[in-house]
Structure 1
Amino acid sequence: MVATKTSARPQHLLRGEAAEEQAHQFLINNGLQPVCRNFRCKYGELDLIMTDGNTLVIIEVRFRKTDSYGSALESITHSKQGRIIAATQYYLSGQKSEPAIRFDVIALSGNGSLQWVKNAF
């Protein structure tokens, strides 16, 4: 018998994708309009880009199965914030206008709770 590679995605990536989809639907249900998902550049990745009225909202989605090593919110370090801001500046450099910007966080935990922090940083 010959061993074959499987294309199964690791469980942690599947959980992360599910959390991002849950956050995306939650924000749509709360009136935000989708612009872009998973924008990647040399500075990092922006999980969700949406609009809230005339404001461009950059959303970082964080999931933690447990709080044993810190909560989802606590996992957004100053360094991570810097990468998000740099990626946002790169994203905006390709845009024609400079809208008002807000940075939000959606924190999800394994117990099913969802926390939306507007103007997180």
Structure 2
Amino acid sequence: MVTRRRLTGDHFETLACLMLEGHGLTCLARNYLTRDGEVDLIMRDGRELVFVEVRYRASNRFGGAAASITPAKRQRIVRAARQFLATQRGYGGVVCRFDVVAYDGAASEPTSQWFRAAFEAGQR
């Protein structure tokens, strides 16, 4: 059963993917899931491999979409990214970065922000 939350997530992941593609990135995978975590989008930006977390918050009551990425969430994303790199051929030695695309406000007219290199693999 697909939940309303999943549909909302899919919607904003699609918006983020289209926006990033408009900036020249290429989508390699969506919703890469491991038992350790998930990466919403995996993109290529020139020679860089970009792991993208997409967040949406209707209210900024608790800090908004970007603030909702906790240290534990970052660790899960990094673990999933490492799993991707370990299981996929052709990415040995590639430069990686972790971006965030944050959407805030009403779902019908959200504001968006793209944070390039929002965090690093070793960051807590």
Using structure 2 for the length normalisation, give the TM-score: 0.87
2:104 alignment counterpart: 109
Of the two, which has the highest radius of gyration?
A: 1
Where structure 2 has 5 or more consecutive residues not aligned to the other structure, the ranges are 120-124
Task: Tell me, in whole angstroms, the C-alpha distance in 2 between the residues paired with 1:14 and 1:109.
Answer: 16
AA at the equivalent of 1:100: V
Please say if 1:95 is aligned against 2:88.
yes
Give the SS at the match of 1:58. strand
Q: Which runs of 4+ in 1 moved over 3 A?
A: none
State the percentage of identical aligned residues. Answer: 39
1:11 alignment counterpart: 4
Task: Tell me, in whole angstroms, the C-alpha distance in 1 between the residues paired with 2:68 and 2:74.
Answer: 10
Task: Tell me, in whole angstroms, the C-alpha distance in 2 between the residues paired with 1:105 and 1:120.
Answer: 6
2:75 alignment counterpart: 82
Task: Tell me, in whole angstroms, the C-alpha distance in 2 between the residues paired with 1:119 and 1:85.
Answer: 13
AA at the equivalent of 1:92: L
1:59 alignment counterpart: 52
Please say if 1:33 is aligned against 2:14.
no
RMSD value over aligned CA atoms?
Answer: 1.2
Displacement of 1:95 after TM fit? Answer: 2.3
Using structure 1 for the length normalisation, give the TM-score: 0.89
Displacement of 1:69 after TM fit? Answer: 2.2
Of stretches 78-87 and 10-19 in structure 1, the one that deviates more from structure 2 is: 10-19
Displacement of 1:42 after TM fit? Answer: 1.1
Displacement of 1:70 after TM fit? Answer: 2.1
Task: Tell me, in whole angstroms, the C-alpha distance in 1 between the residues paired with 2:8 and 2:81.
Answer: 25
Task: Tell me, in whole angstroms, the C-alpha distance in 2 between the residues paired with 1:10 and 1:38.
Answer: 16
Where structure 1 has 5 or more consecutive residues not aligned to the other structure, the ranges are 1-6
2:118 alignment counterpart: 120
1:5-61 per-residue CA deviation (whole Å, 9 max, x = no partner) reads xx5x43222221111110010000010001000000111111000000000000000
